[in-house]
Amino acid sequence: MDLYQFVETQFLNWGMLISRITGIFVISPLLSGRFIPSTVKAFLVLAFSYSLLPQESVIALDTPVLHIVLSLLNNFIVGFAIGLLAYMIFGAFAVAGELLGIESGFGLATSMDPTMEESPIIGQLIFLLAIFVFISLNGHLLIYEAVVDSIKVFPLNLDFLDFGFVKFITSKFIELFFVALKIGLPVIGYMFIVNVLLGILSRLVPQMNVFMVGIPLKSILVFLIFLGMVPLWAETSAKLAVLLEKTLQHFLSG
């Protein structure tokens, strides 16, 4: 296929796929990470979209401009929705880590060091653990397969988009908080018990500076509890990877 024939038959198809995959790269876990250079992201978007080009011409070159703009926007929304579902599944770990950071005192690090991100250290560590298990189970291929399947459900020539899937995404967003509570509840419970014991100790020994004793004590306990919870969190992230596959199938089933 020469360049002229490609521009005439496949150029707009490629543009729609680029828009859809760009929506995934904006928010999807791992793919949206800052550790991936923008140049690499752009190359991956172009490569993935080119590999998914249909054999036949879906959108002709003489298509009205308004139709092209609406199709680009709708394809981006579809890709963003797929990436958002993937992020919601594993965003529970980030939310749980933020709760742990607040309870353990590590959340103060973001206030002391303005160069750090808003996410606490514990939250980033737990999220990276979930991503590691996600990649180990070839979870990143689920997102690629979801893009392939989405072309059948949401064609590239998509000038009108039914936003009925917003209700489905909202229900998954609510489940996110329940999963985050289940992940962080053991450590939060332990920290609550420690706070109660420190409060009792401050009443029994008024001369003791509980604040100076409590911070290192909480840090040590959090590390010990964290080491004990790592296998459970790894197992949970594996189950969430399976849940993500079912969620994407449900989303793309109609």
Distance separating alpha carbons of residues 83 and 77, to the nearest angstrom: 10
Please determine, for residue 15, whether its predicted confidence score (pLDDT) is greater than 70.
yes
Please determine, for residue 106, whether its predicted confidence score (pLDDT) is greater than 70.
no
CB 72 within 8 A of CB 16: yes
pLDDT band, very low/low/confident/very high, at 240 (cuts 50, 70, 90): confident
The structural domains of the chain, with segments of one domain joined by +, span: 3-251
With residues binned 3-state (H G I as helix, E B as strand, rest as coil), the percentages for the chain, rounded to 5, are 80, 0, 20
Taking alpha carbons only, the member of 4, 17, 12, 22 closest to residue 58 is: 12
Distance separating alpha carbons of residues 96 and 188, to the nearest angstrom: 10
Q: Per mean pLDDT, which range of 79-83, 101-105, 163-167, 220-224 is the poorest?
A: 101-105
Question: pLDDT tens, 138-158?
Answer: 777 778 888 888 888 788 887
Please determine, for residue 4, whether its predicted confidence score (pLDDT) is greater than 80.
no
The model's pTM is 0.75
Question: pLDDT tens, 32-89?
Answer: 777 778 888 889 888 888 888 876 666 777 778 888 888 888 889 888 888 888 887 7
